[in-house]
Chain A
Amino acid sequence: MIELIHTYWLYFLVGQFPDGPLGGLALTVLLAALALALALPVGLVLGLARVSALRAIRWPVSALVHVVRGIPLLMVIFWAYFFLPSVTGHKTEQFSTMLIALVVFDGVYLAEIVRAGIRGVPRGQFEAARALGLGYGRAMRRVVLPQALRSMLPSLVNQFVATIKETSLGYIIGLTEVSFIAAQINTQVFTHATQVYLLLGLTYFILCFGLSRLAVLAERRLGRRVPPRSVRSPGSPTPTATPTA
């Protein structure tokens, strides 16, 4: 086991970089961070569209949200992989494909988190902002959203953990993220399958568990109770906000 780590640790952590594209654990984290950063504005727009007074906006977006939530992430990835180039006219390789699929998929789930965050800010804040003469956009941007984002922070960290796990599906389209690299290493060292996959699991565990502990710390700082990761308020009929991967 030690020998295994000793020989392959660099490949596991960064793939072929710098002699080739970035891979391994570094790629996993980078992809997840980028996907979440880009999915947040998408989620914001979708969340706002879902509560819009205009039916023409609300219905198509709700339909999109229901479709994306009803199909596996893998399906979204396959659609992106096979059809994105014909739609955008641009070549897209595995990283971009994965990124776009994750942004769409997570954006839809983030829409719910964003909605909950905005609702969590007392209505009085919004009304006061309007009373001071700020328009809808300014009131949102300067008063409501900053407060909403602070309260959303633990949910966002949980979502980041979920996104890290989702990047593992890049394996299936040949993205050299950490699961793919682990499988490649495994085939070089035939007889240590159990150790390799245990190490892979351990890596994910340390990363994800560490991050979710950070979320708990953030919660304590904010002085609020930690919302359990996979549960909405009891009795709520809406699906949970944590996509699994």
Chain B
Amino acid sequence: MRINIRIIVSALLAAMAFVSAAQADQLADIKKKGEIVFGVLGTDEPNSFVDPKTREIVGYEVDIAKAIAQKIGVKPVFKQLAVAARIPELQQGRVDVLAASLTHNKERESQVDFSLTTFVTGQKVLVKNSSGITDVPQLAGKKVVTVKGGTQEPNIRKAVPTVEVVTFETTQQAFLALQQGKGVGYVNDEASLVNDYAKLGPAKKEYAILPTSISVEPLALGIRKNEPALKAVIDDTLRELESSGNADKLFVKWYGPATKLQFDKRSFKIDSDKI
């Protein structure tokens, strides 16, 4: 069954290679170069982060990226990006694909294309129990911290219009600011928050993740506009991962019960790029 799909896809790819010769063909360029550059955050455990022992970038999205590179038959190269720089770097051709915890939303669809949704999370707020805040509306008039250039700031402002927001260059700087008490809440994707929460160790009991999600965040890979061949390869790789069961294995590897996040099971499948 798997072998059949592979042959069909390869045939389709070969056909597409001829068909799309007329358009700008990033996929052909990638194949010619022999390598594909993925823009990753490298600071968002467990999607992409630096393993301190090996000093390599690893993670859920990194594994997906490696699968795509293997499918195309080229070497994957990982480039670390700041949150605020993801879309500009992709648009200007400095990276080929974004695997950087990128939220798929309507506003961004005018700037970039998205692959099938690879992960669904929500954005939540992490608070210190000593602040006495038990749910999102109580943040009115208070100061929260988050990272620059993502969807976190607009989302929290929409949820709590009178909130005061201070943003930092990286998510960890923002988390550090929360720990030091410079804000009462730290806004980020739920998965990242759970990961940070777990890393606190014994200090965990002083913190809590507020129950209400301020948004639903479908994460997907970012692709430059008008690159149908590349998008097709990426989507096909993702479908294959899903149908072979490897997608679920990846989820368990990085988010499952044995990890810091301890998610029980996936609440989504990798099968759609509609939001």
Contacts and interface: CB of A to CB of B under 8 A. Distances in A.
Interface string B42-86: 010000001010111100000000000000000000111110010
A186 B191 CA distance: 21
Contacts of B141: none
B56 A19 contact: yes
B94 interface: yes
Contacts of B173: 183, 187
Contact of A91 (B56, B92, B180): B92
Q: What is the predominant secondary structure among interface residues of chain A facing chain B? A: helix
B93 A174 contact: no
Interface string A161-190: 000000000011110100000011011101
Contacts of B81: 174
A11 to B, nearest CB: 6
Nearest to B56: A19
Interface in B149-174: 169-170, 172-173
A127 interface: no
Contacts of A91: 92-94
Contact of B52 (A11, A20, A190): A11
Nearest to A89: B93
Contacts of A16: 50, 55-57
Given A91-B92, A93-B94, A172 B169 contact: yes
Interface string B82-104: 10010010001110000000000
B94 A193 contact: no
Contacts of A187: 43, 170, 172-173, 175-176
10 contacts: A81-B85, A81-B88, A85-B92, A91-B93, A93-B79, A174-B82, A183-B172, A184-B170, A188-B52, A193-B176
